[in-house]
Amino acid sequence: MTDRFPGAELERPAAPAGSAPPRIAVIDTDSGFLQVLTKRLERLGWEHRVLATAVPVETIVAMRLSAVVVDLGALGQHGWEYLGKLSVGLPGLGVIVCTGQSTVAQRVRGLRQGADDWLTKPCHPEELIARVEAVVRRRRRTEARTAGASVVAGELAIRADRFQAFVADISIDLTRREFELIELLASAEGRVLEREEIYQRVWGYAMARGDRSVDVFVRKLRQKLEKASPDWRYIHTHFGVGYRFAPEPADPEAAALADVPPPEGSPSDPSVRHPLEAAQLA
């Protein structure tokens, strides 16, 4: 095990979010990759520890880490179990899997089990560092939220402290990515956000040419919102540009007519009664 933390540093309170470089642990046994990665981390001034095997979750807690990079191959048959322990036991820790060739099923399993990102070896250390930075940024934004803060729009209540949106106290059951998307759009206060900006701020890195992830997630999010709140429309498309969040009635003309009193003397005028009704009241 290669210790890159000064001993006294472990007892020092963590620095405020955004004021210090990330502090990471790398669980890996690939000596060539580790040598290149370690040199790069040292040049960046990142505090880091290299571990040859899994350590107890309590030890990870004591390290006061921003993120941990895990090679599942280095952990053998207990890799999946350990990944689950990290994700469940340390919900505030960024977890990046950086491992050898894998199947789609394995990557999906890892992400659903709690990994924030998955990178396949061989890879460039610079890409791994960029992905760690992206995960840490997202985590720090989460920590910076005010507990209990909520945004109310139309029938929708967006609860940052619970990572969910509600209609009449019923959860819409959003995925983490979907919640981050609606929270970002709602925080723009009616401003149109370009797709590239959305991708950068939600996914954490630049959008590749032709990537349709933003459109796909917006479509899924809209479907959930329309099912939960069918009388309102929240996300509006600006073709060729991006998306805007603004609660508007699904049928604005009907809503406008509902607010207009009927013409005097019309059948809808409450002061005009049906002849039979008038006779009954006489």
In the chain, what percentage of residues exceed pLDDT 70? Answer: 79
Segment 79-104 shows an average pLDDT of: 86
pLDDT digits (tens, 9 = 90+) for 179-201: 889 988 998 888 999 999 898 88
The Cα 194–Cα 183 span in angstroms is 15
Residue 13 maps to a domain: yes
Segment 124-148 shows an average pLDDT of: 77
Spatial neighbors of 273 by CB under 8 A, at least 6 apart, are 281
**Average pLDDT of every residue of the chain:** 79
How much is the pLDDT for 35?
Answer: 92
Q: Does 122 lie in the same domain as 22?
A: yes
The Cα 282–Cα 274 span in angstroms is 12
Residue 151 maps to a domain: no
**Domain ranges, residue 111:** 7-144
Residue 73 maps to a domain: yes
End-to-end CA distance of the chain: 97
- 66: tokens are 């921003």
Q: Does 104 lie in the same domain as 180?
A: no
Q: Does 186 lie in the same domain as 116?
A: no
How much is the pLDDT for 169?
Answer: 84
Segment 11-17 shows an average pLDDT of: 38
Q: How many Cβ atoms from other residues are within 10 Å of residue 41's Cβ?
A: 23
The Cα 165–Cα 150 span in angstroms is 9
Segment 139-163 shows an average pLDDT of: 73
Residue 129 maps to a domain: yes
At residue 216 the predicted structure's pLDDT band, cuts being 50, 70 and 90, is very high
Please report, for the domain that includes residue 191, its CATH number: 1.10.10.10
pLDDT higher than 70, residue 272 = no
Q: Does 207 lie in the same domain as 130?
A: no
Q: Considering the entire predicted model, what is its pTM?
A: 0.50
Residue 162 maps to a domain: no
Please report, for the domain that includes residue 15, its CATH number: 3.40.50.2300
**Three-class SS state of 189:** coil
Where is average pLDDT lowest: 9-23, 115-129, 135-149?
9-23
pLDDT higher than 50, residue 255 = no
Q: Does 95 lie in the same domain as 183?
A: no
Residue 48 maps to a domain: yes
Number of domains in the chain: 2
